[in-house]
């Protein structure tokens, strides 16, 4: 090996090392954004949310609701006393007759009224923005159901007779609602059952705080709306096309 060859090798080695140094932080960021160690708690670095394109959402399609029921072990009944985590809503403009269809679920507010009114502290917001009910503390008083502007919460009226799924404990006498598929979020799936099931890809799940996330990019590009934005709740679920 002559001296020139040695210089060449050293140069290439140095260049590779420099590339690694530049690449490594980027790679790390991706890992941090999409999964965390099981022993690591949730953090406010993330704010999970959904973006729902109601112009893609088809009237009569119920796939997101069905997927949610299957994922979380809900019966799928829609009676007055049956728990429903997602409701399909049909909207009609009385002046023009234009119709919209959209799924309505817990909007995972930054300032959730259900948390404000809960007398026991069972209704709470996780650091990553997911609003939940701690059923160990819930006394089933249903104040949160009254406070929620989105009719997102349900009380379980009937005994579930051990039909619950292992990853989704539910029980009679407790209030419950969409958990934004927190078991999937904690697992690092990076999606929800409803978003996976939507045939039109009208539901996008992601981190509102991460500019590299599709949801954040779409929110930055297109006009989106919060339902009842006048309440100033800063919802985690946003809609386009309404």
Partner 1 sequence: MLASWFKSAALGLMVALLPLAQAGAGDVPKPVIQKGEGDKCVEDTDYMRRNHMKLLNHHRDKTMHDGIRTKQHSLKGCIDCHATPNASGQKTVLGKDHFCQSCHSYAAVSVDCFQCHSSKPSGNAAAQSIMPAQSTQGGTAGPRPQGHARLPLINSNLTVKGVAGVIK
Q: Residues interacting with partner 1, by CB under 8 A?
A: 38-43, 121, 124, 126-128, 132, 134-136, 162, 164-167, 169-172, 174, 182, 185-187
The least distance separating partner 1 from the CB of residue 124, rounded to whole angstroms, comes to 7
Q: In this complex, which beta carbon is closest to partner 1, that of residue 103 or of residue 236?
A: 236
The residue to which tokens 């119920």 are assigned? 62
Q: In this complex, which beta carbon is closest to partner 1, that of residue 88 or of residue 126?
A: 126
Please name every residue paired with 135 in a beta bridge, in sequence order, or none if there are none: none
Q: In this complex, which beta carbon is closest to partner 1, that of residue 159 or of residue 200?
A: 159
Is the separation of the CB atoms in 160 and 178 below 8 Å? Answer: no
Is the separation of the CB atoms in 201 and 229 below 8 Å? Answer: no
The number of beta carbons lying within 10 Å of the beta carbon of residue 192 is 26
Q: In this complex, which beta carbon is closest to partner 1, that of residue 9 or of residue 172?
A: 172
The least distance separating partner 1 from the CB of residue 179, rounded to whole angstroms, comes to 11
- At a CB cut-off of 8 Å and minimum separation 6, what does 100 contact? 54, 55, 57, 90, 91, 92, 241, 242
The least distance separating partner 1 from the CB of residue 112, rounded to whole angstroms, comes to 15
Q: Which two tokens stand for residue 153?
A: 């919460």
The least distance separating partner 1 from the CB of residue 60, rounded to whole angstroms, comes to 32
Instruction: Burial-class residue 49 by CB neighbours within 10 Å (0-12, 13-18, 19+).
Output: buried
The least distance separating partner 1 from the CB of residue 170, rounded to whole angstroms, comes to 6
Q: In this complex, which beta carbon is closest to partner 1, that of residue 14 or of residue 169?
A: 169
SS3 percent helix, strand, coil of the chain, rounded to 5, is 30, 15, 55
**Three-class SS state of 238:** strand
Q: In this complex, which beta carbon is closest to partner 1, that of residue 88 or of residue 108?
A: 108
The least distance separating partner 1 from the CB of residue 219, rounded to whole angstroms, comes to 24
155 phi-psi bin (left φ>0, alpha ψ -120 to 50, beta other)? beta
The least distance separating partner 1 from the CB of residue 115, rounded to whole angstroms, comes to 12
Instruction: With CA atoms as reference, report the closest residue to 144 among 136, 132, 158, 160.
Output: 132
**In whole angstroms, what is the distance from residue 172 CA to residue 240 CA?**
36
Q: In this complex, which beta carbon is closest to partner 1, that of residue 110 or of residue 186?
A: 186
């Amino acid at each position: 090996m002559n001296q020139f060859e040695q210089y060449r090798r050293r140069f290439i080695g140095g260049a590779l090392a420099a590339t690694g140094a530049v690449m490594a932080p980027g790679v790390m960021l991706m890992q941090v954004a999409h999964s965390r160690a099981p022993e690591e708690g949730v953090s406010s670095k993330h704010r999970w949310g959904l973006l729902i394109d109601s112009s893609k959402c088809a009237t009569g399609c119920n796939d997101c609701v069905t997927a949610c029921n299957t994922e979380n072990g809900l019966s799928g009944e829609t009676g007055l006393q049956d728990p429903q985590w997602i409701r399909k809503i049909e909207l009609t403009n009385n002046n023009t007759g234009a119709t919209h269809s959209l799924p309505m679920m817990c909007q995972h507010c930054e300032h959730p009224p259900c948390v404000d009114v809960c007398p026991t502290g069972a209704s709470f917001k996780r650091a990553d923005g997911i609003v939940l009910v701690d059923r160990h503390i819930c006394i089933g008083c249903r104040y949160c159901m009254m406070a929620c502007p989105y009719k997102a919460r349900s009380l379980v009226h009937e005994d579930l007779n051990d039909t619950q799924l292992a990853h989704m404990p539910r029980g009679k006498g407790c209030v419950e609602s969409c958990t934004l598929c927190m078991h999937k979020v904690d697992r690092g799936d990076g999606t929800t059952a409803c978003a996976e099931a939507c045939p039109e890809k009208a539901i996008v799940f992601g981190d509102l705080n991460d500019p590299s996330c599709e949801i954040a990019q779409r929110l930055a590009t297109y006009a989106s709306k919060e339902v009842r934005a006048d309440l100033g709740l800063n919802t985690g679920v946003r809609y386009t096309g309404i």
